[in-house]
Chains A and B, each alone.
Chain A
C-alpha cells in the first residue's frame, strides 16, 4: 500500500516538476522575446521623438516671424521668440547659436549670451550632415536632454537652432506605456559610475539598480536575470547614447514573477490535482488496508491461536466479500478442528492412543488385515473371591489403581491395551503399530507388570490389604487385526487362534506357579530373554501340542546360580520325558530341596509319582493334556 502510494507520489511529483520547469523556461523565453521587442520599441520611440524634434525645429528655421525676430539682433527679443517656439512644440530646451558656435540665447539659461557652446562637436557633426542636422543626448544643468540641431536659414544659414526634450521620469513612464516594461535610463560617466537619470522604478529600487547592475556582468542587448528588492527580474541593457563605458544606457526590466503569474495559477491547479490524487490514493489505501490487511492480520492471529491449541478462538470479520467468506471458512475449520480434537481426546481415553490414531488415520470400516501380533493376557488371581465382602466402589478403586499401573507399563513398552475385561487386560504388540521387537517388548512388559505389581503390593500391605497375584500369558501369532463389530459400533481388535492361546497360557500360570507363560513362538521371537521350558501341553479345544515357557529375565543378566538351576531343571525335564523316572525324581527332589518355593518342581514330582505307577502309551512324549480351561 505504502509502495503504491509512494509510486503514485513519485509519478505525480515528476509530472509536476516537469511542467513547472517547462513553464518557467517558457516564461523566461517569453520575457526575453518581449524584452528584445521592447528594446526595438524603445529605440523606435527615441527615434520618433527625434523626428518630432527635428520637424518642429525645421519649421522654426523657416518661420518668417522668427527670422524677423532674429534679424533684430536683440537678445531679449530672440530669447522671447525662442520661448514662444518651445511652447509651441513642448520642447524643454531651445537655444540659438552663431555659426561660430557661440550661444546667442538659451531658454534654459536666459542670462547666457555670446558664450561658447559647451558641445561644439555636436555642431561640427551637424556641419558635416547634408542638411546641417544632428541629434543626440546631452546633459544641460546636469539633466539629460534629447536634442536636435538644425541651421536657421535667413535664407542663408545664419545660426544654429537647438531644440530638445528633457529625459525624465515622465519620459520613462511614457515608454513604459508602450512597452509594459520598467524603463530606467542610466548615465555612465567616464569613471564608470552609473547614475539613474530617469526611471519608472520607485525611489528605493532606483537607488539599488546601479549597485545590482554592477554586481552582475552585463552586456549590451543581452537579457539576464537579477534580483531587485527581493523580486526576480529579467533585464536588458541597451545603448541610448555613447557606449557601455561612457554614455547613457537604458535598462529595460520585466518582473519574472508577474510573467509567471498565469503559470503559477496553472501550478496551483496542478498542485491541487496532485494533492487530491494523493488524498484519494491514501483513502483508497486505507480502505484496502481495512478490507484486506486487517482481516488477513486477524486470520493470521487466529491461525496462531490454533497452533497454540486454542480452538475456542473465532475470527470476527463481518465483511460481505471474499475476506468475509474466508473468515467464515476459517471459523468452520476451527469448529471442525475443535470437534476432531474432542473426539480424539475421548477416543484416546476409550481406546489406546495408538488405536485412536489408527482409527483417525484411516477411514473406519469393517474388516482387517493379517499380521503377526504378540498378544498379552493378564489376570488377577482369585479376583472374584477377593471381591467378596468388599464394597463395589472399593473394588473399582482397587481395580482402577491396578489397571492404571499395568496399562502404564504396557504403553511404556509400546504395547496397546486392546481391552479390559473386568480384572483382565488384553494387550497387543505389533498392532496397530509395528516395532522390530514386538515379542521382546511383550516379554519385557510382562516382567515390568510383575515389578509394578510388587510395588503396588507393598502399598496394599501397608494399608492392611491383601496383596494381588497375577498371571500373564503371551503368544506371538499371525492373527487378523482390524475393526470388528457392527456397522454402527466398531472395535479395533485382533482375532484368531493365537489370541485364544494367549488366553489359555494365562490360565495355565497357576498350574505351574509361574507368573508369566509364553508360547514357543514368542520365546523364539524374543530370544534375548532366558526361559525355562515349563511343559508341553495340549490345551482344551486344541489338537496342537504347544511348548510353554517361563521367561526368567534378560539372558545377558541372568545370575549364574539361576542359570545353573534352569540347566538342572532342563536335565530333569529331559529325564522325565524319556521316562527315566529315577533320574528325574532325583533331579526334581534336589531342586525342590534347594528351592522349595518353586511350585514347578513339586508339580513334576507329583506327576512322576503318579506316572511311574501308570501304564503309559508307547508314543508318550510327556505332553500334558488339559481338559479344562
Chain B
C-alpha cells in the first residue's frame, strides 16, 4: 500500500550576516494545487548573497522491512550517507541519478563505506530486488532546510537576519524547484510565515510483493 512518507523538513539558510544572532525563524506551509498540505517537501532557504557554508553532517538512510527510511532526505553538498540494512535478506541499493550514480550490490548489514553526495540535485534510490523500494535524496548548497510534516508545515530556525528566497522541492513536484521561490526579509529574532503552493505529479503505486521472507530485526 501507500508508503508512509516520513516528515522531514529541511531548512537551508545561507547567512548573509555571519555575525548576526541566529534568532530568525521561517515557518512554511506547503500545499499542493488541490489545496492539500504536502508532506515530505524539502523547504530550503537560500540567501540572496553568497555566504559561508555550514559544515556538513553525516546522513543515514535505513532499510527496514523492505522499505527505505526515510523516504526523503535532504543533505548539504558533500554529505556522506550510509545505508544500513536491517532486514535479514540482502538489498541492492542503486541510483541512476545524475548527481550521484552508484550501486551497492547485494549486501547485508551496514556497508563499510558511506556514499558521499558532492553535487547538488536529486538522487533517486532504488533496490534492484524490490521494485517498490524507493527513496529520494535532495542535495543542496544551503545549510538551512527542513521537511514538511503531515500538515505540510516545516520551520527553519536560527536564521541570521537578511533577505532570503524560500524554495520547495518534492518528489512529485511538477516543474522546476526554482519556480517555487518566495522572497522573505528577516530581521533579527523575527518569525515569518510563508505559504507556498506547488503543483504535484500523480504518484503511481508500485505493487508490493506479499511478505513471505525477510522482515526486520524486531
CB within 8 Å of B: which residues of A? 62, 64, 67-68, 70-71, 99, 127-132, 151, 153-158
Contacts and interface: CB of A to CB of B under 8 A. Distances in A.
B204 A155 contact: no
A131 B207 contact: yes
Nearest to B174: A99
A155 B134 contact: yes
Contacts of B202: 127-128, 132
Task: Please report whether the interface of chain B is mostly helix, strand, loop or mixed according to DSSP.
Answer: loop
B205 A131 contact: yes
B125 interface: yes
Contact of B124 (A70, A151, A155): A155
Interface residues of B, number: 19
A157 B173 CA distance: 12
B131 interface: yes
B190 interface: no
Interface in B58-87: none
Nearest to B134: A155
A158 B134 CA distance: 13
B171 interface: yes
A154 B207 contact: no
Interface of B: 94, 96, 101, 124-128, 131, 133-134, 136, 171, 201-202, 204-207
What 5 A-B pairs have minimum CB-CB distances, sorted nearest first? A155-B126, A132-B204, A71-B96, A155-B134, A156-B124
A154 B131 contact: no
A70 to B, nearest CB: 8
6 contacts: A62-B131, A129-B204, A130-B204, A130-B205, A153-B131, A155-B127
A131 B1 CA distance: 12
A71 B134 CA distance: 17
Contacts of A67: 96
Contact of B204 (A64, A68, A154, A157): A157
Contact of B96 (A68, A127, A130, A157): A68
B203 to A, nearest CB: 9
A128 B206 CA distance: 14
A71 B101 CA distance: 9
Contacts of B128: 64
B39 to A, nearest CB: 17
B124 A154 contact: yes
Contacts of A131: 204-207
Contacts of B205: 130-131
Contacts of A62: 131
A70 B125 CA distance: 16
A153 B96 contact: no
A129 B205 CA distance: 9
B177 to A, nearest CB: 15
B101 to A, nearest CB: 7
Nearest to A126: B204
